[in-house]
Structure 1
Amino acid sequence: MATADQIKSLIRSYSEEDRERFYSIALQVAAHEAKQGHATLAHEIRALVDNHKKRAQQGLKVVPFPQELKGLVVSDMPDIPLQSLVAPQATLERFRRTIKEFYQRGKLHKYGLSNRRRILLAGPPGTGKTMSARVLAHELKLPLYTVQVDRLVTKFMGETSAKLRQIFDIMEQKQGIYFFDEFDAIGGDRSMDNDVGEMRRVLNALLQFIEQDQSDSIIVAATNNPKLLDQALFRRFDDVLYYSLPDEEERKHLIEIIMGTFLASKFAWNKVLSSSADLSQAEIGSACRDAIKDAVLHDKSKVTASELISTLDQRKQVYTQL
C-alpha cells in the first residue's frame, strides 16, 4: 500500500488544490504498487488519474484556429496552479492581483475602471515566463493560445501585419490568454540601426492593435531581453514583471515541489542549494526529474542529496562546453 508520506502528500495537495502535484503523487503510488506486484491496482490508479484529467478539461473546450493561422497559434488547456509557480513574493502578489481583478472586473467597470489585461514578462530564459502564462490560463479557467512569433514574421511585405490583425480580431471572438513569446521579434526598438522599414511597419501596426483592443482576452508577452523592445510598448502594458534566477529559498521550494515523496528524509540541503546556484528554474526542474528517473529505473523510492547534486552538476557542465 501507499506509504504514510505519500498519503499525507496526497491529502495536502488535494486540500491546496494543487492538481499537478496530486497527479504526480498518485502516479508515484501506482509505481510503488506495481513494484509490489499489484499490477491491477497500479493500472486502476493510472486510469483514475487519466479520467480525472479528462473531466477537468471538459468544462472548457479549446476551439481550433482558422486554417490560415494553422501552425502560428497553438491551443492548450493548462492544468498548472499558482502554487506550482516559484517566483519572488512580489511577483506572486501581482499575479494574484491580476487574477482578482479578472474575477471582479464587473465591479471595476461600474467605476469606469478596467482589469489588467496586458502583461509583459521579462527575464532570462528558463526563469518561469512561459510557465507563468500557463498558470494564469489555469487560474482564470481560460484556454491558452500561444502565438509562434518566429513563424509569424515572414519575408513577404505586409503579410506579418495582416496575420497580426487576424489574431487580434480573433481575440474579440475567442476569449483566452494570448501568449506572445520572444516578443522582441516583432516589438524591437524602431531606433536600432539594423531595423528595416517592414519591421517598423509591423511594430506600428502592433502598437495600434494593442491600443484598439477592447476584447475580454488577456495578452501576455514575454522577452528574454527587455532592452530590445521599443519604449512605446511599455506604455501599452498594464503590468511589467521582471524575472531572475531563483534565490536560495526559491530553489529549495522548487526542489521540494518537484521531488515530492522522492526526497530522502535526511537531505544535505546546504550542499544541494550550493550546487543549484546560478541555475534557472527550468534547469533545476530538469535535474530533479532526471534524478527521479534514475531512482525509478534502479527501483529506488528515494533520491539522496548526492544523487541530485550529480544531475545538477550535469546541467552546469553544459555551460563549460560553450
Structure 2
Amino acid sequence: MAASADHVKALVRAHAEGDEDAFYSVALQLAAKSARQGHNLLAAELRDLVDEARAQPTRKQGPTLVVQPRGELAELVSASYPDIHLADMTLAEAVQEQLQRVLHEQRQRERLENHGFAPIYRLLLVGPPGTGKSMSAAVLARELSLPLFTVRLDGLISRFMGQTASKLRLVFDTAAKSRAVYLFDEFDAIGAERRIEGDVGEARRILNSFLLFLDEARPESLLVAATNHAGILDNALFRRFDAVITYDVPSAEQATEVLRRRLASMNTKRVDWSRLADHVGGLSHAELVRAAEAAAKDAILTGHAQLSSSALMAALGARRATRNG
C-alpha cells in the first residue's frame, strides 16, 4: 500500500516541526487507510509501532546535524550544537514570554507563511554582560533542533579589514540556504559609528551593508544580534529587527534561583537562602554561577559534606570584589 502524497507530506512536516502528536495521528490515519484497503496485517503493524513509540520514555531530540563550516565560512563562524533548554534558564518573565513567542512562531512558520506572514526571525538582544543573551541564542537553537553559528564581529572586522562587507554577504547567503540560528555576537562592533580607528567611512560602509543584508534576509534562519552596549547603536538598527529583547541583572528572587539550580548536586541544607538576598544585588547570571561554582569546589576540596550560607556569601563577595577591581 502506497501512502498518499498528502500523508507523506504531513508526516515530513510533523517530523520537521517536532510535533509527535501530529506524526502519530498521521501514522494512525495510514493504518486506517490500510485496513480499509484490506491490508489488515500492515494496519496492525502500524498501530503496534505507534503504541510502542508512545510507550517509550520521552527522548530529548538532538539538533539537526549539518556539515561543519568549510572554506571561507569556517574563518567567519563557529558551529555548535547546544544542549540547553529554555526551562534551564532563569529569566525575567517578560524575557521568557518573548522567547516563547519566537519559538511558537518558528514552530508554526509554515502556517504563517501560507497566509503571507513571516515568523519572527530577526532578533536584537540587549543588556549587560552575563545576563543570558548568548545563552538565549543557544536555547533557540536547541529548542528548534538547529545548529548555532556564532559570528564574532569584532574579530571579523579586525581580521578582514576592507573585506568585511563581502564576508558578511557570505554569512547572509549561507543563512538563506542553511537553516540555523546565526548569532552576531558583540554587535556594537558594527552597530556603532566608530570601532575602525581612522576610517569612519569604512565603518559606515560596513553598517550600511549589514542593514541592507538584514532587509533582504529571508526567514529561513534566525538572525540574532547581541550587544552589551545598546546605547551606542545606530538608531536605524532598531527598526530592522522584528523584536528587541532587553535583559537585565536578575532580581534577588531570580538570583537565588540561579544559585539553587547550579548547586542542585550539592548538599545545601545549611544554606539560609533568605540571607543571601542582600548579597546578590547587581550580580549577573554569569557572575552568580561562577560564585556558586567557587563555593561548591571549595566545599568539595576541603572535605565539607555541606555547603554553608557563610561560604556562599564569601564567594559572592569575592566575585563582586573581582568585578569592581
Output the CA distance in 2 between the equivalents of 1:177 and 1:105: 15
Q: Deviations over 1:123-150 (max 9, x none)?
A: 1111111111111111111100000111
Find out whether 1:272 has 2:283 as its counterpart: no
Moved more, 104-113 or 58-67: 58-67
Residue correspondence of structure 1 range 1-322 to structure 2 within 5 A: 60-154=64-158, 158-189=162-193, 196-321=200-325
Contact 2:63 / 2:146 at 8 angstroms: preserved in 1? no
Counterpart of 2:72 in structure 1: which amino acid? E
Moved more, 242-251 or 152-161: 152-161
Contact 2:187 / 2:225 at 8 angstroms: preserved in 1? yes
SS at match of 2:264: helix
Counterpart of 1:88 in structure 2: which amino acid? A
Output the CA distance in 2 between the equivalents of 1:265 and 1:309: 15
Q: Deviations over 1:74-93 (max 9, x none)?
A: 10000001012221101101
SS at match of 2:263: helix
Structure 1 residue runs without a partner (length 5+):
1-54
Counterpart of 1:168 in structure 2: which amino acid? F
Output the CA distance in 1 between the equivalents of 2:63 and 2:296: 33
Deviation (angstroms), 1:114: 0.9
SS at match of 2:125: strand
Cα RMSD for the two superposed structures: 2.2
Deviation (angstroms), 1:302: 2.7
Counterpart of 1:187 in structure 2: which amino acid? G
- TM-score (structure 2 length as normaliser): 0.77
Structure 2 residue runs without a partner (length 5+):
1-58
Output the CA distance in 2 between the equivalents of 1:138 and 1:93: 17
Output the CA distance in 1 between the equivalents of 2:79 and 2:271: 40
Output the CA distance in 2 between the equivalents of 1:137 and 1:156: 28
Counterpart of 2:187 in structure 1: which amino acid? F
User: Cα–Cα, structure 1 residues 89 and 178, in superposed 2: closer, same or farther, change >3 Å?
Assistant: same
Counterpart of 1:209 in structure 2: which amino acid? F
Q: Deviations over 1:84-131 (max 9, x none)?
A: 222110110111110010111111112211100011000111111111
Q: Deviations over 1:243-285 (max 9, x none)?
A: 1111011111111111114142242223222111111110000
User: Cα–Cα, structure 1 residues 132 and 270, in superposed 2: closer, same or farther, change >3 Å?
Assistant: same
SS at match of 2:202: helix
Moved more, 139-148 or 180-189: 180-189
Deviation (angstroms), 1:292: 1.5
User: Cα–Cα, structure 1 residues 320 and 206, in superposed 2: closer, same or farther, change >3 Å?
Assistant: closer
Percent of pairs with identical residues: 41
SS at match of 1:167: helix
Counterpart of 1:94 in structure 2: which amino acid? Q
Q: Deviations over 1:40-82 (max 9, x none)?
A: xxxxxxxxxxxxxxx9686622421122233421100000010
Contact 1:62 / 1:75 at 8 angstroms: preserved in 2? no
Moved more, 254-263 or 99-108: 254-263
User: Cα–Cα, structure 1 residues 292 and 239, in superposed 2: closer, same or farther, change >3 Å?
Assistant: same
SS at match of 1:108: helix
